[in-house]
């Protein structure tokens, strides 16, 4: 038990604070000036570099502080949870990677997970054709639900830890931001509206997934662009910081 529960060192607290500050600044600049989403990208990068615990803390803390500038509300706790979840998942998937090993930028390294997600979306389309459930478009809740199952199966299939390179990081970022962040935040919108209107139903949720899909897609594309341009470079810088100041992952 002591292996997992320990008192954090001052340098670790400082690093979490620094990464959270960079996440907040990146998010605020991205919202107002840039066609990229540096905040979401920094959460994923933090998780990759320092592991799932730090990734979750940076995501949750960064979102909470960002909303002091962008506005707090019932959605804040959902945003904290989803950003934290992105950082934690990134830390789990990439946690054992040795940056000094040769990397392949070949798409084959993520072909397995991608195939699972695409196959899941094909199944989603077939289910829409056979059982439309009164819907007029395929672009709705099925994208998220079936995509999530495909993403989970792909991660189980890819038993080796994913390599840290720009292609792999970008593909991972696109799928997790769209499926996990978008999928959860649409549910949060349902409950936020339900507080004022008193209406919480599956029909309302289906409508939210349809109207939310373009925004979730744009969010994932912007985060992917940031990670593709800066992800691998920032992770290498953070690895050098870890060596210089004595940061080490807890080995299993």
- Model pLDDT for residues 124-142, shown as the tens digit of each residue: 888 888 888 777 777 788 8
- Structural domain span for residue 26: 10-245
Q: Provide the 3-class DSSP secondary structure of residue 113.
A: helix
CB 47 within 8 A of CB 184: no
133 φψ region: left (φ > 0), alpha (ψ -120 to 50), beta (else): left
5 located within any domain: no
Angle between helices 10-32 and 38-50 (to 10 degrees): 160
47 located within any domain: yes
46 located within any domain: yes
pLDDT band for position 81 (50/70/90)?
very high
120 located within any domain: yes
Residue identified by tokens 């897609």 is 217
Domain count of the fold of the chain: 1
251 located within any domain: no
DSSP letters, 127-168, are HHHH--TT-S-SSSHHHHHHHHHHHHHHHHH--SPPP-SHHH
Mean pLDDT over residues 173-196, rounded? 86
The H or E element containing residue 27 is: helix 10-32
252 located within any domain: no
172 located within any domain: yes
Q: Is the pLDDT of residue 174 over 50?
A: yes
70 located within any domain: yes
């Amino acid at each position: 038990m002591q292996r997992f529960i320990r008192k954090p060192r001052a340098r670790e607290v400082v690093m979490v604070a620094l990464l959270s500050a960079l996440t907040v600044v990146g998010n605020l600049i991205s919202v107002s000036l840039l066609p990229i989403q540096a905040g979401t990208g920094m959460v994923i990068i933090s998780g990759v570099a320092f592991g799932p615990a730090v990734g979750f803390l940076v995501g949750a803390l960064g979102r909470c502080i960002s909303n002091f500038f962008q506005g707090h509300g019932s959605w804040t706790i959902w945003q904290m949870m989803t950003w934290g979840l992105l950082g934690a998942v990134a830390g789990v998937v990439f946690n054992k990677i040795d940056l000094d090993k040769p990397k392949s930028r070949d798409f084959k390294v993520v072909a397995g997970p991608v195939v699972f997600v695409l196959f899941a979306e094909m199944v989603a389309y077939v289910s829409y054709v056979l059982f439309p459930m009164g819907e007029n478009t395929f672009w709705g809740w099925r994208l998220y639900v079936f995509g999530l199952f495909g993403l989970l199966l792909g991660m189980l299939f890819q038993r080796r830890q994913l390599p840290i390179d720009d292609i792999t990081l970008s593909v991972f970022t696109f799928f997790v931001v769209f499926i996990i962040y978008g999928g959860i935040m649409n549910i949060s919108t349902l409950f936020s509206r339900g507080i004022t209107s008193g209406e919480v139903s599956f029909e309302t949720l289906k409508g939210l997934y349809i109207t939310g899909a373009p925004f979730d897609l744009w969010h994932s594309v912007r985060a992917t662009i940031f990670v593709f341009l800066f992800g691998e470079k920032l992770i290498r810088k953070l690895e050098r910081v870890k060596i210089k100041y004595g940061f080490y992952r807890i080995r299993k």
